[in-house]
Structure 1
């Protein structure tokens, strides 16, 4: 990557972060339905056009990006990789998707706090979450076969989400550790809990 392209990517990431941060603050202060994209542009000190160059809708900017997983990684997972252990592989795929988008833990924490105070936003997030769960369940069933069962696959994805939430909660006391290490700690704790 050239230095110019790198600067452009850095500036683009900073603008996206500022837009998300301002949208979350507006939601915290006014509620999800209490502000417009024009209000967001003003708060972030950008044009309305810039807002729409980054995000298609208000929900997208508040909820943040959907973490895409490459087709190669999905194919590897469905084929039984990378380790051959379903839960380990699911954690690895999710951690990689989060790492590729350089998860901003401050935004994740602010988003979590804002969600707790806005029922409308919780409903919107639930709809997005459900589509992610359905996609993950489909990949698990492709890998394990229909006999594995949809309910078991949904439970597995739900456990992964709880582990992610636990990792987010671990950031506050120890912000020096990488998020991937916190996910690993939460997985280890989950193993202990499930074996007791």
Structure 2
């Protein structure tokens, strides 16, 4: 379904706010500017700014991307492959694939994440929230109540894999986060598969 003019305008405004927040953070650091200065740089009112983002950290990180409803429904129905861990990886990857900036922007984001621990903490918190939503989808997929310990373990594994992928992406500028996510999931999976002789 195509997006309405209003949706496109909202997306453009949010991208402008994010770009300006990243520029200001690069120039002055996260504590070196106010929300008023961000609003001025982005060409929006303070009220409009707060309608889009609650604070500077969210402005710098940009929008969170939701999983496409069709993919989520396929997952809940047992797909796309029928193998839970592989399907979890596809859901997580689809979320990060929606945010695929150009290489120069990726490099700038890497520098920003390394420059302030609050940004890394916020990214981790986003991983935790996505993991919680994924746990709910798994419960629906399985069609039965899943032991709380199982859900906590799966959630912890997904968050750990995402954190490891982010660390790898920051340490290896030649790889995208999505590539590092694939590598982290594949490495984790290989730990639990029997060795082929």
Q: Which residue matches 2:130?
A: 132
Note closer, same or farther for the CA distance 1:109–1:50 as it changes in structure 2 (3 Å cut).
Answer: farther
Q: Which residue matches 2:153?
A: 152
Q: Which residue matches 2:41?
A: 43
Q: Which residue matches 2:24?
A: 26
Q: Which residue matches 1:57?
A: 54
Deviation of the 1:62 alpha carbon: 1.5
* 3-state secondary structure, aligned to 1:146: coil
In structure 1, stretches of 5+ residues that fail to align are none
Check conservation: 2:18, 2:59, Cα contact below 8 A.
Answer: yes
Distance 1:110 1:51 in 2: 25
Deviations 1:139-180 (A, max 9, x none): 2344344137123212331244146426734873368xxx75
Check conservation: 1:16, 1:54, Cα contact below 8 A.
Answer: no
Comparing 12-21 with 134-143, greater Cα deviation is found at: 12-21
Note closer, same or farther for the CA distance 1:138–1:103 as it changes in structure 2 (3 Å cut).
Answer: same
Check conservation: 1:20, 1:64, Cα contact below 8 A.
Answer: yes
* 3-state secondary structure, aligned to 1:149: helix
Deviation of the 1:132 alpha carbon: 2.4
Q: Which residue matches 1:168?
A: 169
TM-score (norm 1): 0.68
Check conservation: 2:75, 2:141, Cα contact below 8 A.
Answer: yes
Deviation of the 1:104 alpha carbon: 1.3
Distance 1:141 1:63 in 2: 29
In structure 2, stretches of 5+ residues that fail to align are none
Deviation of the 1:81 alpha carbon: 1.0
Comparing 11-20 with 57-66, greater Cα deviation is found at: 11-20
Deviation of the 1:135 alpha carbon: 1.7
Deviation of the 1:61 alpha carbon: 1.5
Check conservation: 1:69, 1:97, Cα contact below 8 A.
Answer: yes
Distance 2:179 2:118 in 1: 33
Note closer, same or farther for the CA distance 1:111–1:37 as it changes in structure 2 (3 Å cut).
Answer: same
Note closer, same or farther for the CA distance 1:33–1:133 as it changes in structure 2 (3 Å cut).
Answer: farther
Check conservation: 2:127, 2:162, Cα contact below 8 A.
Answer: no
Deviation of the 1:93 alpha carbon: 1.5
